[in-house]
């Protein structure tokens, strides 16, 4: 995600037409890819269909990585004490992702723009209170959350 090629700003001296043309080229490339894939998807050869599907997944993965890079750059530009808090369900999801990926505290903290102590406190709270406290109540439930579920 810290690829130096992504940090090169668009030249300010470029006229608006050049910037617009860049978007049109991307749009044309997308059209060509969709057209080619639609032809290949109907191919009787399974190998060709599998390659099309693999290429589609690779493109989707690249686009998701770019989306994530843009969001991470925005989050990194906000001072730590002004960043929004993670809701309890998001905290649990982060801990689940940490476990599934096999990330360390430092890796997890870096990815989600928090300090390692924050991840440690979430894990400690999960051990003390259990996962039920971190999940939202049923939509039809009018019962108040238990006192242990309030944010600390």
DSSP at 87: P
Query: Averaged over 42-57, what is the pLDDT?
Result: 88
The encoded tokens of residue 141 equal: 């439930």
Alpha helices in 42-115 (DSSP H): 46-76, 88-101, 105-111
DSSP at 4: G
Report helix, strand or coil for 130.
coil
Q: Is the pLDDT of residue 146 over 50?
A: no
pLDDT recorded at residue 139: 44
pLDDT recorded at residue 7: 65
> Tokens 């989306």 sit at which residue?
67
Share of the chain above pLDDT 90, in %: 36
Q: What is the CA radius of gyration of the chain?
A: 22
What is the per-residue pLDDT across 100-140, written as a single tens digit (0 to 9) for each?
A: 989 999 999 999 999 999 999 999 988 888 766 666 655 44
Report helix, strand or coil for 29.
helix
Average pLDDT, the chain: 81
């Amino acid at each position: 995600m810290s690829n130096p090629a992504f940090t090169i700003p668009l030249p300010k001296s470029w006229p608006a037409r050049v910037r617009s043309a860049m978007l049109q080229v991307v749009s044309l490339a997308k059209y060509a890819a969709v057209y080619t894939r639609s032809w290949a998807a109907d191919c009787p050869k399974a190998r060709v269909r599998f390659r099309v599907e693999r290429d589609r997944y690779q493109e989707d993965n690249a686009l998701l990585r770019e989306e994530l890079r843009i969001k991470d750059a925005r989050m990194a530009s906000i001072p730590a004490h002004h960043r929004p808090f993670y809701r309890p369900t998001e905290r649990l999801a982060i801990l689940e992702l940490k476990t599934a990926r096999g990330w360390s505290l430092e890796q997890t903290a870096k990815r989600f723009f928090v300090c390692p102590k924050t991840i440690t406190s979430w894990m400690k709270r999960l051990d003390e209170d259990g996962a039920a406290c971190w999940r939202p109540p049923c939509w039809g439930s009018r019962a108040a959350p238990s006192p242990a579920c309030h944010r600390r």
